[in-house]
Amino acid sequence: MDAPEDEQDVKLQRKAADLIADLSKSLGPFLWKATKSGRSANRRRVRIRDTDRLVNLLEPFQEDPQLLDPHLDKFVPALADALLAYLRSPPSKLPETNTQLLIPLSRAICRLLYTFCKVRGEKVIVRFFSTETRHLELLLSAIEKGSEQEDGQSANPETGDSWEWEERYIVLLWLSQLLLAPFDLASISSEDTDDIVEPTIPGLSWPRNTPGLTIRVIPLALRYLSSSGKERDAAKILLVRVAMRKDMQELGILKALVQWALSSLISSQSGRSTYYYIGILSFLAGILVSSQSTTDMNAYLEKISRYIQNIFSGEEPVFKAIKSSAVARKTMLKVLRTITVLIIENPDSIPDSDLAIEATIDHLLGSLADPSTPVRLAASKALSVITLKLPEEMAVQVATAVLESLQKNTLYVQKGGHKRKTRDLSRVNPLEWHGLMLTMAHLLYRRSIPSGELPPILDALRLGLVFEQRSTSGSSIGTNVRDASCFGIWAMARRYTTVDLQRLKLKNDVFIHGGPINESSALQILATELVVSASLDPAGNIRRGSSAALQELIGRHPNVIVEGIKIVQVVDYHAVALRSRAVLEVALQAGELSDHYYHGLLNALLGWRGIQDGDAAARRVAADAIGKLVLKKQMTDIKKPGDTWKVVNDAMDIVGERLKALAPREVEERHGLILALAAIIENFNYECTTERIASLIDSGLEYPRLFQLDVPAGAELQVHTSTNFGRCDLAHIVSVALTQVCLALVEVNIHWSSFRKLDLMAESCSRIIIAVCPILRADCVFRQYESLAVIRAYSGNRLSLSRYKPSKSDLTLLKYLHNPSFLTEINHSEMGLAVKFIQMAHKKDFLPDLHTMELIRPLLYNILDLNDIDVVEVASIAAADVVLLIDNHDHQRSDTLWEFNRRAATTVKGGRTNQGKSYIHALFKVFPLTGISFPEQYNDGNTYAHPRTADLISTFWHRWTEFQEIEIQATILSCLASSSALHTHTADFVNMIGEGLDNYTTNARGDIGSLVRIEATKAAGAIWGGPTLDEIKLDAFKKLFGKVLRAASEKLDRVRVEGQKAVACALKRRTDIVPNTNSIFESFSTSSKEYFLFLLELQTSDWLAHGSLFRDDAVEWAREFMEGYITSADTGSEDLIRASRAALAEFCEMGHTAIVYDSLIRILETRPNEDRVAIPCLEALSFLFDWGYLQKMNRSFDDLNRLVKNAMRRKGKIGIRRLEACIKVFAGLNDPDALEQLTRLVLHRFPTIRNAAIDECFVLKGVGKGVNWAKAGEADELALRVAIGLKI
């Protein structure tokens, strides 16, 4: 997946200073307030909104927590002091208000402190808390009171001030810090706490003379030790801190707590939650970790170990509940790890210590396959820590056991003709492999393995770096394995010296069973693997992890890696974030630096990280990268004209061999390989220029594809060559390319009907057909040269072949060699040159290779018949390029065009969607070809009807009108916009474009006519966006510009965007009147007030409204423009309505109300029955009345009154919206005739219409309310007319 271009860490570094400044400025007023006396006092309650804002200022620092370090000594003590001040201050006696918007200050402070802990870690933050023991009583009393409130004993239901988990977490953490006091707790306890009664806790026996402070702290910690939240962690720290104090151990607190924990683990008491046992286990792990390097826990090691083993192996319900929790399993592994380390340090602490160590290691190896990632991580860390403490020979045994586990479920199969078997990892457990890779990484990180034992481990890490499996849904499940491998290589680079690593030798290919040893240094091999992974891995975190490991490897071991400094600069941490950039830029630059990186990248691109990727887009990028990588490497190897093209040759051979080995079902890989072959050939074509071929001809060449020699029986063949004559490798590459393409196309033609995803095959085959067309032309030239360079002579039964060097003047085909492709725009002269080349090739009997053309033609029809929307464009380009290779002798090219034309015109109602779309695309591309004529045309007796441009235009109009298919109409206009036919035959397509601009077809999908309008707008803009504007195009402009203005102002955003571009093209031609008008217009957002105001003001511009050229058309343009504008002002989005109406109001304020009014009147006159424009027109008139613009005009509104009445009397169904709009306009007219119409609607059958009419009557005359119009009759209507003042 591509990472964003603008990385989060970069953004954070840019805005960190602003975030810190904002927090520093806001924190003081947030915590304190000024009293009437001028002193500062802490606030009791603060806004939740303000608290959330401050928390959100800290959250971004999780990307780079160290940025907070210089400021922690200011922020954390300030928050801690404010918390202490809050706890000391007496509660307010006044009733609290807005309790849903406010929270206690203590909760807000603890939320902020918890956020600091989450971002920077609790161990760092707690160091900034005050360690004065005088705070013990305050904090302890506060949390005890909070606990009582939590139990409902003293919480105020009105204020809701019971403590939340953040408050308990922070206070428990602070108490654990205060218990580090270096003097006995008995001396800290207050006198009034000495007589505290020891609470009864099941399983806990209180020692005698326990200090009161301890009696208060332990129950509190035990209470929250079973919590499901973060306070459990703080409670564990507090309880461990109490138990491990020297004075508490002497009293027996440690022993009592350990016995309580063990008894609780095996207790049969039901109803205990899993979190209860997690808390107990975390306490045991904590005291064991704290007792390392001491003998404090030696007496309990055997018992704790036995209990943990019983839990793992037991089937009791309690044990099953514990094992069901991943956190509990992780904690138990931590306990076993610490016990084992203590046993290794003190072997006499338990009997049979060796057996206990072996049992623990065996259990940890089994836990590496745990379904939970934290458990696997804990097991791998535990193994590395234990191995570090073991003797060297035992440490090697642990590493060997890990390596042996990698062989589980690994298959060795024969693939691709390899003599040795290849490793198949499809059946291994990816979770177990993740754990094994993590284990090896941690072993290396702690340098637990001797350097001499590293080769198999490094080979295993290399294998993990390319590990990949796919789930049944197709998603990757090997990313974590590769991530662990990156960590392992990074750790190796840090922990081992260059001298140790230089002596190591690794396998050449980790997938080959028992493969040969690579002679390169281990560091170079690892660097190459990291370069490949950093450039090509699909996962962004793996690319970045590999880049970081590579930087560490080269930085720690300088002057060892080939082009080390350059490769680090290329494979930069930020450069590999975006996958497409990593593949197309980073990989190519790395491949140029050394053969090591080139071969590694090429092999990987041909694997699952490239053309075998499950995503088609990734395969396209990989194929493109292969073509560019091969060409770049080839061009760096070519220093002089005689150098070989071995790199290109080898690459095509590799791809060809892989294509041969594919089964028909492997469509995705075949798609990628054919694209790769096409990319190699396409990039080779860039260098196989006419000039290069001519220079090679001067030095002489041989071409192996000329003769299939037919030597008579008994004849003796003699070949005479010049010693100065050598083989042309460029010609050889042309031969190889043709051979590989033919082999690929043969397989495709054979299995076409059995392929699963024909769209993928159609795309790849289209690409390779496009790429091979220049090769076919070069093949013609080389074959002509070879025919001239070889002289046959018979002497008796001897056939003698001699060679000589013909001159370039003898090569007639070379003169016309040109490689136009419809991938780019082809002008008329280039197309003519291509046709001339084929005509000359026919005359000299060197037409394009017959076998290849016979393979291409049926395949091309299969591709074009698919009409797949994603393949249409590339398929049509391939078809057009092939047409240029067909000579017209025997009317072959004309027959092909007629067949294209027939298939484009053939439709069946209700048949396949988009039928003939590919042929339409192809016909538009070869449209100019039908108009090309040459004096050397073949004599056909003038009886054959060659296709003409008129025939193609007729087909386009036939498809346009028949069945009115929206997709086909959009396709025709889309092709037209980019075709030369639009400029050479403008008059034939103007009406088509106009119909497209008028297409407002709607169905269940919505406004599908917008698809046609968009393409029509593009085509219209292309007419006057061309280099010239003749009379025909000027007439087209007059017909279409008003419709384009309508598109530029209508409610659909995507249509307006294209309309803006088309209008800008028109404005560009009149910059002589208003300079830079088009650039100003294009800078506007199409949903802004400025944009709509600009369009309105166009009606007053000199060249549009007053210019003699367009004076007769301006009125019609204004009407069409307003038809689109009113849809934005009435039925667009809320922001669009606001912007368009604001622009309309400002335009009327300028004194142009009459222009708008006249356009609206013309719309009502010409389109009264179309709700799409009639209703928005009425709404626009109502808006102008509401704002008083129409009242300011010195005009009679009789026409408007008449038109609105007609709008109400339309035939057919009259919608409610139309009637409501008419009512608004009648209210704006406010004359007797209009009021008459309003009173007639007060008894309408629809309540909405009745209410609207009554509301307007009340607003205008203050009458109509107080009557139940749902039950009213004619008498009520008569009374209303009298009240209004109308004649009865």
- pLDDT tens-digit readout, 149-192: 666 554 444 444 678 899 999 999 999 999 988 888 888 765 55
Evaluated on CA atoms 1133, 1138, 1143, 1147, the torsion sign reads: positive
Global pTM value: 0.83
Contacting residues for 1268 by C-beta, under 8 A, at least 6 apart: none
Rounded Cα gap, residues 973 and 960, in angstroms = 10
Q: Cα 1277 from chain centroid?
A: 65
- Paired tokens of 393: 């020979």
Characterize the bridge pairing of strands 411-413 and 422-424.
antiparallel
Characterize the bridge pairing of strands 45-47 and 40-42.
unpaired
Q: What do you get for the CA distance between the two ends of the chain, in Å? A: 78
Contact 1248, 1224 (CB under 8 A): no
H or E segment and range at residue 971: helix 966-977
Contact 922, 900 (CB under 8 A): yes
User: Residues, the chain, total?
Assistant: 1288
Rounded Cα gap, residues 688 and 734, in angstroms = 9
DSSP state of 198: P
Q: What is the pLDDT of residue 722?
A: 45
Q: What is the pLDDT of residue 5?
A: 43
Q: What is the pLDDT of residue 709?
A: 43
Could you tell me where the beta strands, DSSP code E, fall in 4-149?
32-34, 40-42, 45-47, 102-104
Could you tell me where the beta strands, DSSP code E, fall in 821-936?
none
Contact 68, 16 (CB under 8 A): no
CA proximity to 876, closest of 830, 821, 923, 915: 923
Rounded Cα gap, residues 793 and 790, in angstroms = 10
| Backbone torsions φ then ψ of 223, nearest 5 degrees | -60, -45
Give me the amino acid identity at 1163: I
Q: What is the pLDDT of residue 163?
A: 86
Give per-residue pLDDT as tens, 1082-1123: 889 999 999 999 999 988 876 555 454 566 778 899 999 999
Which stretches in the chain have pLDDT values below 70?
1-10, 92-99, 149-161, 189-195, 268-271, 415-420, 513-515, 639-643, 698-728, 789-808, 907-914, 933-942, 1069-1078, 1102-1111, 1211-1212, 1288
How far is residue 557 from each of residues 532, 551, 571, 837, measured CA to CA in Å?
19, 10, 17, 59
Looking up tokens 């080979």 gives: 459
